[in-house]
Structure 1
């Protein structure tokens, strides 16, 4: 059986696609997995700040178009980039084992940041807001691009003193030696579904879905379904100041969620427990609590809460 696997062209995307291909071969050595490299608007335009356009579908639309047009059979995404609602006919078929979801600081330590005014580079509104909440005197410098050049800028002190990156991406690229400090997710909660891969395919391809289910991690699926349900019910895009920290207490899923004002002056937090058979309810429940506490106002004040017209124009240019 041949499976055409669609992936972006970046080094990290290729490593993630290779990982999925390896998992597929492990469950069926006779599978012929063919890589198909796809472009994305997010990769092509590294200048426009996500705060100006939102980021819903910026890195995933080309893959979904390829699925709809039957140019590929599956697409491997960084699940944090995948919108919480799939186009008609497509399905999130599998979530393999999740890598470390935490953020890491590269270039400096937190103690160094506390004692001086530094320039911290990040293209993430969530990370920038969380930094401002703890270090109001820092300067946040918008930085976009793939992981290696962002890391290089911090190491070489090229316009920034440090940057924050996902531990998962650094581990997959073999770059953990450049890490200065893991960020405590209780203080710096990570992005929804960070560290997880999502494999999308056509809903009608039942044979492929059956194969993909064999490489799914049930815990990773439960965690990310809960986190994505939170994001969906908040009405928030993937690059908004919403952070989560998900853990297990025996068979109970515990999720903490934080919405941070982009100026860092206000944070709204809540948490909940739930059994694994109803994980999406924890996301909905937490979203409702956060909205009752004023999270909607914080998200609207960000000025980037899913402006779909801006996203559509960006994807078409």
Structure 2
């Protein structure tokens, strides 16, 4: 990015401050929004009344959508649906953030996340899709892939981790693989999170400045930043060659993280004809008590010190 296109230092620090606050858990954001972040301009992290109003509106809509996700979960479990959702995008595009907000209120036994590491030596000798197929859902389950088999069309292609023959074989196979999944009764939804060059630059700087997120910056991430254009070309080819009627791609505009989360969740809910499942009222049973029961004291050396 040309030097002239970079924001000045004060503006950059303000954007990083806002991004750091936005990245914290939704349950904590309202409590910490008035606090300053060490090392940044205190004025930059003080929210205005407009900021607070926008944040409250965001939370209100997020919680409403999460309530609908609970209904979706119940419907998936009750009607024995099988759902696979793929989340793809550049590093720091916000995939993990939206996955977190989707699963935040759900039962991890029903809605689980598959975030596979790099293949080991044995997996490299398997059929390419084999290790992903092992994570596909049974009836009544939703699986959210934080990156997926499309690694071959992206990072493996750009970084040279696959041959030209393997790359072409992937494109020959993936449409048939996905059609087979759909024919088997799996609902397959594919999202690409789209951010700009400038936005990824800012988010990487934010990770550098945030000690709680520095672990997210791997050497591979830094190299991907250098190869922005190569990733762009790989993405364009991937979307063109794998956008099929049975499993189309959906592009989420993700420069604004909060809007991206809400838009993605809202769209996801619209992809399935879920209905609220009626549940019988829950009644708490009376505790059984026995006269001969005596609770034994816990030894003092087993107690966690109460320092808070």
The TM-score with structure 2 as length reference comes to 0.28
Structure number with the higher helix fraction is: 2
The TM-score with structure 1 as length reference comes to 0.28
Which of 1 and 2 has greater Rg?
2
Structure number with the higher strand fraction is: 1
